[in-house]
Amino acid sequence: MFDFSIVTHWIDNLLRSVMPGWGALLIEFVLVGVVLLLLYAVLALFYIYFERKVCAFFQCRLGPNRVGPYGIFQSVADMFKILIKELISLNHIDKFLFNLAPYLVIVASMLAFGCLPFGKGLQVIDFNIGVFFLIAVSSIGVLGILLAGWSSHNKYTLIGAIRSGAQMVSYELSIGLSVLTMVVFAGTMSITGIVEAQSNGWFLFTGHIPAIVAFLIYLVAGTAETNRGPFDLPEAESELTAGYHTEYSGIHFGFFYLAEYLNLFIVSGVASLLFLGGWMPFHIPGWESFNHIMDYIPSVVWFFGKAIVISFIIIWFKWTFPRLRIDQLLRLEWKYLLPINLVNLFVMVLIVIYGLHF
């Protein structure tokens, strides 16, 4: 399997051979930032189109089919439309916090996006507490949502922000415990270490029942964390117009829209990293010929393929189940998911201590 670190080291050595170290680092930082921003935008456009087509399939209709073959450029057309829309200035808002909120949301998703390993050796940042850093930066987004609802001085946005704050803080506990369960099993918080620990079998298959329980709870909690149906109470159109971003227009609304779809990819990417080996191919111990064939598939294809499959499952939830009430949503977390997660974590600790795993 090709190691992308060969390319990154070659670029680093080339830059250092023609300029001082600080100049090479500066250019590398700029290159990494530009590549991440481009990938961020392309993935968001893809996910918008992907969800529209999946939704259309479930509802027995065609979906976007006008702009380009099979409507593949519809998302691009929508992007240009939102870029040229006017930023409407409101008089009754807290202007500084109102303008700051969408940038907080986009920065939080961008930081989490930069932590993901897109392929073997293709990772922006990797250190021994990578999972902890990922959870920490992904939690910043709720501040942007709360600020958006508060600063708009609108009852619909405020209710949406309060709902979102309660929902995201609650379900972060289940996400954290699910992640911690797999960290206990892997024995490391390094993202690269977790992926490489699955070289002889993905954790979903080698981690016994606790890994399966953690995966299922993570899917439910991840769906709630990204404010997607049936947990989309913060932006329930039939009740709150557009929820916490009712007063936003133009590119500011676009930032919330982009962050929502990128958070879907981040949740799916972290699930593939923790449970399905990330960029690691599917290997079966003892089947060397089969494993050799799997290694021919590029690591980037493995990672994005797994993330898109998990995203499809989360989108499937949205277009299948009716929206929950806020009390049902919080009861599901505090009375069911959280206690199950705590017991599951305890069982995983026992499995690791006594060596009961495969």
In-domain check, residue 49: no
**Is the pLDDT confidence value at 238 over 70?**
no
Q: Average of pLDDT values for 123-149?
A: 86
Domain contains 230: yes
Residue by residue, DSSP assigns 312-326 as HHHHHHHTTSPPPPH
Between CA 331 and CA 314 the distance in angstroms is 21
pLDDT digits 0-9 by tens, 326-341: 888 889 999 999 999 9
330 within a domain of the structure (yes/no): yes
**Number of neighbours of residue 347 by Cβ within 10 angstroms:** 16
Query: Taking residues 15-26, what's their average pLDDT?
Result: 87
Query: What is the mean predicted confidence (pLDDT) over 252-258?
Result: 85
Domain total for the chain? 1
CA distance 283 to 184: 22
Q: What is the pLDDT of residue 347?
A: 93
- Mean pLDDT (the chain) is 87
Q: Helix 155-186 to helix 338-354 angle, to the nearest 10 degrees? A: 10
Angle at CA of residue 311, ends 309 and 313, nearest 5°: 75
pLDDT in tens, 292-351: 888 888 889 999 999 999 999 999 988 888 888 888 888 999 999 999 999 999 999 998
Average pLDDT of span 259-275: 91
* Domain range enclosing 122: 95-354
Q: Would residue 150 count as lying in a domain?
A: yes
Residue 17 in domain: no
Nearest Cα to Cα of residue 37 among 109, 87, 98: 109
CA distance linking residue 61 with residue 38, whole number of Å: 31
Confirm whether 83 is domain-assigned.
no
Q: How far apart are CA 159 and CA 175, in angstroms?
A: 24
Residue 242 has pLDDT above 70, yes or no: no
* pTM (2 d.p.): 0.90
Domain assignment present for residue 2? The answer is no
Q: What's the mean pLDDT in 257-282? A: 90
Coil vs helix vs strand at 122:
strand
3-state helix, strand, coil in the chain (%, to 5): 70, 0, 25
Q: Cα angle vertex 240, ends 238, 241, to 5°? A: 75
For range 99-122, the mean pLDDT: 88
Going by pLDDT thresholds of 50, 70 and 90, the confidence category of residue 219 is very high
Specify if 103 maps to a domain: yes
Q: Would you state the pLDDT for residue 156?
A: 80
pLDDT for 195-204, tens place per residue?
A: 988 888 889 8
pLDDT band at 268; cut points 50, 70, 90: very high
